Structure 1
Amino acid sequence: MGKITGFKEFERQDETYRSVIDRVKNYNEFTVPLSDQEITKQGSRCMDCGIPFCHSGCPLGNLIPDFNHMVHQGEWQKASWILHSTNNFPEFTGRLCPAPCEQACVLGIIEDPVSIENIEKNIVERAFKEGWIKPQPPKTRTGKTIAVIGSGPAGLAAAQQLNRAGHTVTVFERHDEVGGLLRYGIPNFKMEKGIIDRRIKILKAEGIIFKTNVNVGVTYDVKDLKAFDAIVLCGGATETRSLPTPGIDANGVVQAMDFLTQQTKVLFGKEVENQVMATDKNVIVIGGGDTGSDCIGTSNRHGAKSVVNFEIMPKPPGERSPTTPWPFWPLKLKTSSSHQEGSERNWLINTKEFVKDETGKLIALKTVNVEWKMVPGQRPQLIEIAGTEKTWPCDLALLALGFTGPESTLAEKLGIKRDARSNYIAEYGKYQTNVKNIFTAGDMRRGQSLIVWAISEGREAARQVDLFLMGKSELPSKDVTGDLVAM
């Protein structure tokens, strides 16, 4: 695949960024694309490696060496066809996926892995530019109707696959725009919302019906779902995690998702009451993941006085840890573009109190340094280090602590069983709940996870729904090893 000696001739090249001073002035994407010639070289780095572990690294089972080879050959349209055969929305994953495929790349054992994610992004952008991505409505309809609840990546993938099978699909979204967390949870500087809109335009042209501002179980009676032959629940894991810490009720302690959603709505002219702003404030972001990074980038664009990041876990190593050898997802330090824009990062630190003044306004955080005691056969123990107490001035604390699981409303009203972690129970590979015509996929089933897993589960659930309704299915699937099975 690619050029036989390409991995020896060409070094990995990634997109660069516009300068910090320029990009923090707005909320636009700021990557500087590589030339087509350079992308061709990057595709040429893909090795003819016999067993392409990138396949198993990718939850979608993307045919990575195949589309890399087409890019190397200059066959961009064929590359797009191969890419879309397993991935409904490569424009999303090409921007937002942490690329587990690259961490499983064979070349990555000895050198920098193939830049798979960026190649993927360039393929789909070229395809949109050339007009190769067109609506493909089904030639016939089955007469079956399906409700998909939630319009995030899992819901959209399930909807498109089921529509391709000829079913009539209605997608319900409780917010005013389609996209789920892609729309309001991901800042515009990471993915401009026009990227979502152009794909939704394709889906609508294919015959998918979208209904926004419809909160099933709240503003829409679940009894009305009986009109559908099958239901797919893709509502995500949206219950945010908080802290059992004194002063958590202070005015100035804000959930990250509220902060990010408000900013995106304001950016697009939506009415938001009492928007939380970081302007001229000492901001502390609690949580070191992607959402915390997004809060840092947004705070910098607001013009924060200072931005500090707390993480309770140890600082990861700079290189792959021996505890996560190739081809597993590595434990190593990740520095995002938002971190580079300006933030003080602190590891092994625990918040002990949110300090507020007499009016209830947040003015500081009290912390203590910690360490993790590892005892074989037991859960790690968090140990506070005496004498490390510190008070930090803080006007805005953003809680980026992840999610505890999906909301309970639909489970309670539809009679869906949940597990100990509140996830909706449905066997992996089957996606069918205890209510026979109700299926679930994505974060609602597996808990907080990656966008690539959401798309994969949406596709797989669609096939199971099709089998349930029709007794057979021509929708593609992959088995648990990641290999495509016969259609």
Structure 2
Amino acid sequence: MGKPTGFLEYKREVPPDRAPLERIKDWEEFHLHLDEEKQRKQGARCMDCGTPFCHSGLLINGMASGCPINNLIPEWNDLIYRGRWKEALERLHKTNNFPEFTGRVCPAPCEGSCTMGINEPQVTIKSNECAIIDRAYEEGWIKPEPPKQRTGKKVAVVGSGPSGLACADQLNKAGHMVTVFERADRPGGLLMYGIPNMKLDKKIVQRRIDLMAAEGVEFVTGTEVGKDYPAEKLLKEFDAVVLCGGATKPRDLQVEGRNLKGVHFAVDFLGRNTKSLLDSGHKDGKYISAKGKDVIVIGGGDTGTDCVATSLRHGCNSVVQFEIMPMPPKERQNDNPWPQWPKVYKMDYGQEEAAALYGRDPREYCIMTKKITGDAEGNVKEVHTVQIEWKRDDSGRMMPVEIPGTERVWPAQLVLICMGFLGPEDTLLKQLGIEQDGRTNVKAEYGRFATNVKGVFCAGDMRRGQSLVVWAINEGRAAARECDRYLMGNTNLP
């Protein structure tokens, strides 16, 4: 695929980002685009490797290797190289309902398993994908395509995150009447309120939701099923139900001082920030502000990065991010071979911004929070930590061991906890009588997605636990297929 000698002739080139010190002054997206000639050259680098691991979607050592929605990557890379953009869009949409989301926020496990990555910089798969869909919108190729026939079947999708949207989109294409319930005031789930605007502009999310609505999907917002809308009514009024509520129960930090004022879950910090931005441009003040404060972010990953970047845009005094794990190596290690996800050191956009402003990566590695202390009014004042090293216990498990003499006290007026999520909230699940597994996730076999309640299916993080947006799309599409099979006896959905 691509130009036979393209990987020899052209170097990897990703679209530039806006300068860090410029972009922290606003909430606009920081990614720019390559011009068409350069983008076509990046498509030409796809090397016709024979067995393309990039679209394999395997799990190796618990991490994604290749694209979980099996995007036909070599095919649309070839079409980009040949300038056949509309055909590239058709191939992209065969597997991915929302490339404008994944092209911006996916960590790109496809690139981690790119064959060229064995000894050369990988193909720019993620930016190629984004270039296809952005061009399609610019050219007016994306238009509402409502189904030509309706089946008369009604399906409720609970939750409008990536799994719920993908599921609803597919079921609507099959001709069913789909109603999506969302408890927030806007659809989109974590796409709307979990990911900051500079990483995924909410106009892009709303654009796709408006398109789905024009195609016949009904969105009911501000309605929590099981609270505002009775669970038993859901089962009576719809022929099938798909639960896509996500894993929204955050993991807490069990230390002294956790309940001091100024200690918040990251999801609350990020969600309220985006809502205030969309509602009033932050003029209503209904958000947790980091302005003028020393901020401690406890936890890594994408959410930690988003907290760092958001705090900088508020005008924080300082920001430090705690990572309990060791600093990753600069290059792949022998125990992390291709095509596994490369566990190597990198600075994401938030760390790049902090480094540009303060002169260093804001992350502290192998550090454990021991307690949080406050002032006389109950406001957070300090975070007490200790350095740790990882050692095997008697059973062979790696455990953190404190290093004496490494205790430290950090000033803090805002502490943000982003240590992942434990599983779904279970109020609705208990009302419906849905069985849960030992990790509190919904019991529904992958590939079937059926719960123990007839006609009720489950997909996304609510079923598999906290994961990637691209896995949520995978599950939403697959659950739609099985729901369609249940309703009609057979299915033509992919």
Question: Which TM bucket (shorter chain)?
Answer: over 0.9
Aligned equivalent of 2:358:
none
Instruction: Give the 4+ runs in structure 1 shifted more than 6 A.
Output: none
Question: TM-score, normalised on structure 2?
Answer: 0.95
Q: CA deviation at 1:197?
A: 1.1
Contact kept? 1:222, 1:413, Cα under 8 Å: yes
Please give the per-residue CA displacement for 1:216-268, whole angstroms capped at 9, x wherever unaligned: 00111111112100000000000011111000011111111111111111111
Aligned equivalent of 1:138:
147
What is the identity, as a one-letter code, of the residue corresponding to 2:216?
G
**Given the alignment, which residue of 437, 455, 480 partners 2:455?**
437
**Given the alignment, which residue of 102, 109, 112 partners 1:103?**
112
Task: Give the distance between the partners of 1:431 and 1:338, measured in 2 at CA.
Answer: 36
Aligned equivalent of 2:262:
252
1:68 aligns with 2:68: no
Q: CA deviation at 1:377?
A: 4.9
**Given the alignment, which residue of 291, 295, 304 partners 1:279?**
291
Question: TM-score, normalised on structure 1?
Answer: 0.96
Aligned equivalent of 1:384:
402
Task: Give the distance between the partners of 1:87 and 1:368, measured in 2 at CA.
Answer: 45
SS of aligned partner of 2:212: helix
Contact kept? 2:300, 2:418, Cα under 8 Å: yes
Please give the per-residue CA displacement for 1:60-114, whole angstroms capped at 9, x wherever unaligned: 0110000000001000000000000000000000000000001111111110010
Aligned equivalent of 1:479:
none
Aligned equivalent of 1:313:
325
Q: CA deviation at 1:269?
A: 1.8
Contact kept? 2:369, 2:386, Cα under 8 Å: yes
Q: CA deviation at 1:354?
A: 0.4
1:230 aligns with 2:248: no
What is the identity, as a one-letter code, of the residue corresponding to 2:15?
E
Q: CA deviation at 1:132?
A: 1.1
Q: CA deviation at 1:274?
A: 5.1
Q: CA deviation at 1:465?
A: 0.3
SS of aligned partner of 1:268: helix
Contact kept? 1:262, 1:276, Cα under 8 Å: yes
Aligned equivalent of 2:219:
210
**Given the alignment, which residue of 404, 412, 425 partners 2:430?**
412
Unaligned runs of 5+ in 1: 477-487
What is the identity, as a one-letter code, of the residue corresponding to 1:201?
D
What are the equivalent positions in structure 2 for 1:25-424 lying under 5 Å apart?
25-56=25-56, 57-225=66-234, 226-269=236-279, 275-342=287-354, 343-375=361-393, 377-424=395-442
SS of aligned partner of 2:279: coil
Contact kept? 1:27, 1:189, Cα under 8 Å: yes
Contact kept? 1:265, 1:272, Cα under 8 Å: no
Q: Pairwise CA RMSD of aligned residues?
A: 1.1
Task: Give the distance between the partners of 2:82 and 2:99, measured in 1 at CA.
Answer: 20
Q: CA deviation at 1:399?
A: 0.5
Unaligned runs of 5+ in 2: 57-65, 355-360
1:2 aligns with 2:2: yes
Task: Give the distance between the partners of 2:224 and 2:390, measured in 1 at CA.
Answer: 42
Task: Give the distance between the partners of 1:377 and 1:140, measured in 2 at CA.
Answer: 60
SS of aligned partner of 1:372: strand
Q: CA deviation at 1:323?
A: 2.1
Larger mean CA deviation between 185-194 and 126-135 belongs to: 126-135
Contact kept? 2:276, 2:286, Cα under 8 Å: no
Task: Give the distance between the partners of 2:395 and 2:163, measured in 1 at CA.
Answer: 36
Contact kept? 2:384, 2:407, Cα under 8 Å: yes
SS of aligned partner of 1:263: helix
Q: CA deviation at 1:321?
A: 2.6
Q: CA deviation at 1:416?
A: 0.5
Percent of aligned pairs with the same residue?
54
Larger mean CA deviation between 463-472 and 330-339 belongs to: 330-339
Contact kept? 1:237, 1:448, Cα under 8 Å: yes
Q: CA deviation at 1:322?
A: 2.2
What is the identity, as a one-letter code, of the residue corresponding to 1:214?
T
Contact kept? 2:272, 2:286, Cα under 8 Å: no
Contact kept? 2:276, 2:285, Cα under 8 Å: no
Task: Give the distance between the partners of 1:256 and 1:85, measured in 2 at CA.
Answer: 35
Contact kept? 2:160, 2:189, Cα under 8 Å: yes
Contact kept? 1:262, 1:272, Cα under 8 Å: no
Aligned equivalent of 2:465:
447
SS of aligned partner of 1:31: coil
Contact kept? 2:290, 2:314, Cα under 8 Å: yes
Please give the per-residue CA displacement for 1:312-350, whole angstroms capped at 9, x wherever unaligned: 111111122322211111211231111011152100000
What is the identity, as a one-letter code, of the residue corresponding to 2:348?
S
Task: Give the distance between the partners of 2:340 and 2:19, measured in 1 at CA.
Answer: 33
